[in-house]
Amino acid sequence: MLIRERYPTLGELQGKDFLSSAQITAEQTRELLELAADLKSGKLQIDLAGKTLGLIFSKASTRTRVSFSVAMARLGGQTLDLNPSVTQVGRGEPIADTARVLSEYLDVLAIRTFAQADLEKYAHWASIPVINALTDLEHPCQALADYQTLQENFGELKGLTLCYVGDGNNVAHSLMLCGALLGVNVRIGCPKGFEPDADVLKQASHIAAGKCLIEIVHDPETAAKGAHGLYTDVWASMGQEEEKEKREQSFDGWCLDQKLLDLAEPNAIVLHCLPAYRGLEISAELMESKASRIFDQAGNRLHAQQALLAALLGG
């Protein structure tokens, strides 16, 4: 069966890029999560035999790299890891040339880089779908797995409240945009000066209008109150290593711990995109607690990205 017969709005994604959580519609996001769940349960199989995914990762990665490779293998396709240090990318070959050349060989590209503008440049020049595998601005593949995990635990996503405590970073941005599409209230708790990007906030609020709330608060307790999901990420993202110590001071008192979990809904779950620093942004106790779904969440990267690849490649 073709994807578009079962998931009508996913058919429109064939051949498209996925550069931002907000690049797809609410219905497409819901159908991607449904497809991810169907692939996970084994209800459905999709054949992408003969298709090749290329990975260009200019930053480190365990989960995204491995889950994309395994996702492609499970769908019958293959992956080439085009590490910039062993290709001409690392020696400065222009994106416009790399993107056009790789489009001659590959069927889809997943890119992890710094500037969103570089990702957009790849997408502009490539004639194949380009996927954002993390930039400084967004991590949309992560958000799909995160909401899949919330859905597994609560069923209906609409009306839930997800609290993210920590830095208003790429992960927070995609959670806000994807949450707004899905009707989830997203409450970001961060110290002053570490708020999400103002344009992303505006965009998420616009999507959320009349459906759910996107809020920024400046103390962790207010953020956690009544939440169904408590989420955090590192205080210093890749590329901010030099600010790590200074950031640790600014985030003092912002550790996601049992005290915050006690303020959330009784059945609240704990999420973290990983990698994590225990004792900084999250307590070791909470990471290993009964409420933690952190390793299910990492596992869902595989299923959410299989769904995404199948949609973009028209499986």
Catalytic residue selected from 30, 63, 65, 139: 139
Catalytic status, residue 273: yes
Q: Which does 62 bind (CB under 5 to 8 A by kind): ligand NVA, ligand CP, none?
A: ligand CP
Instruction: Answer yes or no whether residue 137 interacts with ligand CP by CB under 6 A.
Output: no
Query: Judged by CB under 6 A, which stretch of 55-63, 147-155, 159-167, 174-182 contacts ligand CP?
Result: 55-63
Catalytic status, residue 163: no
Q: Which residues of 265-276 are buried (b: 16+ CB within 10 A; e: fewer)?
A: beebbbbbbbeb
Catalytic status, residue 116: no
How many residues interact with ligand CP (rule CB under 6 A)? Answer: 8
Of 55, 52, 47, 53, nearest in space to 76 by CA: 47
Residues 6+ apart with CB under 8 A from 35: 3, 6, 7, 10, 44, 307, 310, 311
Strands (DSSP E) contained in the chain are 52-57, 78-81, 108-112, 130-132, 161-165, 185-189, 214-217, 229-232, 269-272
- Binding residues for ligand NVA restricted to 252-311, rule: CB under 6 A: 273
Q: Are strands 161-165 and 229-232 parallel, antiparallel or unpaired?
A: parallel
Instruction: Answer yes or no whether residue 234 interacts with ligand NVA by CB under 6 A.
Output: yes
Catalytic status, residue 112: yes
Binding-site member from 51, 63, 187, 247 for ligand CP (CB under 6 A):
63
Question: Which amino acid is it at 3?
Answer: I
Of 113, 307, 68, nearest in space to 98 by CA: 113
Question: What is the smallest separation between the CB atom of 59 and ligand NVA, expressed in angstroms?
Answer: 7
Catalytic status, residue 247: no
- Binding residues for ligand NVA restricted to 167-196, rule: CB under 6 A: 169-171
Catalytic residue selected from 142, 151, 203, 305: 142
Give the C-alpha separation, 220 to 209, whole Å. Answer: 24
Question: What is the smallest separation between the CB atom of 83 and ligand NVA, expressed in angstroms?
Answer: 18
Question: What is the smallest separation between the CB atom of 70 and ligand NVA, expressed in angstroms?
Answer: 17
Catalytic status, residue 233: yes
Instruction: Name the CA dihedral angle for 71, 75, 76, 80, rounded to a multiple of 10 degrees.
Output: -30
Question: What is the smallest separation between the CB atom of 201 and ligand NVA, expressed in angstroms?
Answer: 17
Q: Which residues are catalytic?
A: 112, 139, 142, 233, 273, 301
